[in-house]
A and B are shown apart, each in its own frame.
Chain A
Amino acid sequence: AQSVSQHNHHVILSEAASLELGCNYSYGGTVNLFWYVQYPGQHLQLLLKYFSGDPLVKGIKGFEAEFIKSKFSFNLRKPSVQWSDTAEYFCAVNAGNNRKLIWGLGTSLAVNP
C-alpha cells in the first residue's frame, strides 16, 4: 500500500534559520508530489507540486522542494524562515492518474521571532 512519512512532527526554529522538512513515500510507479500548508485558522493551501521535469520545484513564499527518485523523497526547503511561516506542513502523493491523495501526518513548524 502507498504511504507517506514525514520525519519531523514538530520543528521549532528562529527567524532566518534554514528549513528542511523530510518527506518519503512508498510507491514504485509514477507519482505526483505535493506540499500543502495550513496556517493557523486557515484552510489548506498548495505550496508546491511536482509532476514531471525538473526535480527541483519552486513554490510560493520562497519554498522549494527536490524530488529524488532514488530515495523516494520530496523534501521541502526554505533558506531563511520567517515568523509568518509558522504553520502545519503536509506532504501528499498520488499515483499516476489517481486523484486520491495519500497524506503524511504533517509537520508543525513554529518560528520564533
Chain B
Amino acid sequence: GAVVSQHPSWVICKSGTSVKIECRSLDFQATTMFWYRQFPKQSLMLMATSNEGSKATYEQGVEKDKFLINHASLTLSTLTVTSAHPEDSSFYICSAPNPVADRKAQYFGPGTRLLVL
C-alpha cells in the first residue's frame, strides 16, 4: 500500500499562535511531499513542494515565512503555520508519490482542518 497520515486531524487555535501539522508516509519513503490547501467546495491549491534534505519550493503567492516547511526525514514533513490568523483557517492536505509502487501517482493524507479564532 501507500499510506499517508496527518496529525492532527483538526486543530483550533487562537489568532497569533503557531500550529504545526505533520505528514508521514507510513509504509514508504518519500523524498518529495506536497502541501495543499483546500477551501470548501473548491479544488486543491498547491502551496509548496517539500524536499527531503533541502529547502521547500513554494508556489507563487505563498508566504514561505508564514508557512514553514521542514522535511526532516524520508517519512516526515511538517508544515508550521506561524502567527495564524482567521484567514488561515482551511483544510490542509499533504500528498506524496510512492516511487517504488507507482512513482507518478500521489497518495494523499486525510487532511488537517485548521480553525483560527
Give me the interface of A with B, judged by CB distance under 8 Å.
32, 34, 36, 42-46, 49, 51, 90, 94, 99-101, 103-106, 108
CB pairs A–B below 8 angstroms (23 shown): A34-B105, A36-B108, A43-B93, A43-B108, A43-B109, A44-B44, A44-B93, A44-B95, A45-B108, A46-B107, A49-B104, A49-B105, A51-B104, A90-B44, A94-B104, A99-B97, A99-B106, A100-B46, A101-B106, A103-B44, A104-B43, A106-B43, A108-B41
Binding site for A on B (CB under 8 A): 32, 34, 41-44, 46, 49, 93, 95, 97, 104-111
In this complex, the member of A42, A44, A105 whose beta carbon has the largest number of chain B beta carbons within 10 angstroms is A44
Contact between A43 and B105, CB atoms less than 8 A apart: no
Decide if B43 touches A99 in the complex (CB within 8 Å): no
Task: Determine the distance from Cα of A101 to Cα of B111 in the docked complex, in whole angstroms.
Answer: 17
For A100, list chain B residues within 8 Å (CB). 34, 46, 49
| Nearest CB of chain B from residue A62's CB, rounded to whole Å | 19
Q: Which residues of the partner chain B approach A104 to less than 8 Å between Cβ atoms? A: 43
Contacts of B41 in A (CB 8 A): 106, 108
Whether B108 and A106, one on each chain, are in contact in the complex, defined by CB atoms closer than 8 angstroms, is no
Closest to A88 in B: B41
Taking CB atoms, residues of chain A closer than 8 Å to B34 are 99-101
Q: Report B30 CB to chain A, min CB distance, Å.
A: 11
- Which residue in chain B gives the minimum CB-CB distance to A36? B108
B111–A43 CB distance below 8 A? yes
- Report chain A residues within 8 Å CB of B42: 105-106
A101 B46 Cβ-Cβ under 8 A? yes
Smallest distance from the beta carbon of A53 to chain B beta carbons, Å?
Answer: 13
A34 to B102, CA, bound (A): 13
State the CA gap A10–B99 with chains docked (Å). 34
